[in-house]
Amino acid sequence: MTVAGRQPFRLDVAREGNAAVVRVSGSVTITEADQLREALENLAAEHAPVMVLDLANMDFICSLGLGAIISGHLKCRHHRGQVRLVHPQPPVRELLETTRLTKLFGIYDSVAQALPET
Amino acid sequence: MREKKVIPTNMQAARQLAEELLDEAPFKGYSEPALFAIRLALEEGLANAIKHGNKSDPGKSITVCAEVDDDQATITITDEGEGFEPGVIPDPTVDENLEKPCGRGIMLMRSYMDKVEFNERGNEVRLIKRRA
């Protein structure tokens, strides 16, 4: 029985021009949040102007996971970079709205829309 | 179904407990949004018990009692910490706190569950989600 998602966590990183695209899949629970934070902070240290987080396949995130995304955002801001979120599933989108993080992050319908114009 | 479990103070044990509870409890008839809420509140409560309650002390334990029936799910999480005053937690949704990486757990529990109660000492939280 699948309860509220619970797919295995996975991170895939790709480069699109000078942007980093991070596809987050599965659930970001209390045991995966540190892994997400570390990955985003390391990518931010590469000074990509835009870090795109593709959330289309992410079924769950806890507040520690949200904190990991915020940590990546803060690191990006050191070099005037941005974190952009793509296509969160409805429960995750509701979570972003409940926490008002939609004010902090741009939310896009597709990775292509989130990439910076060249 | 009524169950009581005691786990050590670490995230892996907490995660395993959450998975087992969600697998074993009779959540038939609960909606997906309700299950998402229960899962979220359970993880937030466990994370708070580990980090803020027991301050990650491996010598301390966390007790979780779960009671799930056709009407509602009640989960009680008790740590061995000194407790805290829930009323003094800053609102994480105001503009000046939006960029803080932590401090959202209690707000999320309150937003997603039907009832959230703390004991007087502040080391125990009781989370209730009604099925309908």
How close B110 gets to chain A, by Cα (Å)?
A: 11
CA distance A17 to A117: 10
User: Chain B contacts of A99, Cβ < 8 Å?
Assistant: 92-93, 104, 107-108
Note the pLDDT of residue A7. Answer: 83
Mutation pick from A31, A70, A75 vs chain B, by most beta carbons of B within 10 Å, is A31
Domain A10-111 has CATH 3.30.750.24: yes
The DSSP output letter for B10 is S
Q: What is the per-residue pLDDT for A75? A: 96
**pLDDT-derived band at A3, boundaries 50, 70, 90:** low
Average pLDDT, whole number, for chain A? 93
Are the C-beta atoms of A16 and A113 separated by less than 8 Å?
Answer: no
- Looking at residue A104, its pLDDT comes to 95
Grade residue A2 by pLDDT with cuts at 50, 70 and 90: very low
Minimal Cα–Cα distance from A14 to chain B, Å? 25
pLDDT at B43: 97
CA distance A72 to A84: 11
Rounded distance between C-alpha atoms, residue A64 and residue A99, angstroms: 13
Query: Is A8's Cβ below 8 Å from some Cβ in B?
Result: no
| pLDDT single digits (tens) B28-77 | 889 999 999 999 999 999 999 999 999 999 999 999 999 999 999 999 99
Contact residues for A14 (Cβ-Cβ < 8 A; gap 6+):
A20, A21, A23
Specify the residue for token string 């799910």: B73
Do A29 and A60 touch, CB atoms closer than 8 A?
Answer: yes
ipTM comes to: 0.94
Average pLDDT over residues A91-111: 97
> Is B62 in contact with B6 (CB distance < 8 Å)?
yes
- Structure tokens, B82: 């000194």
Angle A25-A28-A31 from CA coordinates, rounded to 5°: 130
Residues on chain A touching B111 (C-beta within 8 angstroms): 98
pLDDT in tens, A20-47: 999 999 999 999 999 999 999 999 999 9
- Structure tokens that stand for B58 in this block: 């491996």
Which residues of B make CB contacts under 8 Å with A?
Answer: 11-12, 14-15, 18-19, 22-23, 27, 32-33, 35-36, 38-40, 43-44, 46-47, 92-93, 95, 98-102, 104-105, 107-108, 111-112
Does the beta-carbon distance from B44 to A62 stay under 8 Å?
yes
**Tokens representing A86?**
């793509």
Residue closest to B35 by CA, chosen among A10, A70, A59: A59
Here the tokens at position A52 are 């795109």
Q: Which residues contact A17 (CB under 8 A, 6 or more apart)?
A: A115, A116, A118
Contacts of B88 (CB under 8 A, 6+ apart): none
- Which domains can be identified in chain B, with CATH numbers? 2-130 (3.30.565.10)
Say yes or no: A2 contacts chain B, CB-CB below 8 A. Answer: no
Average pLDDT value for residue range A88-117:
96
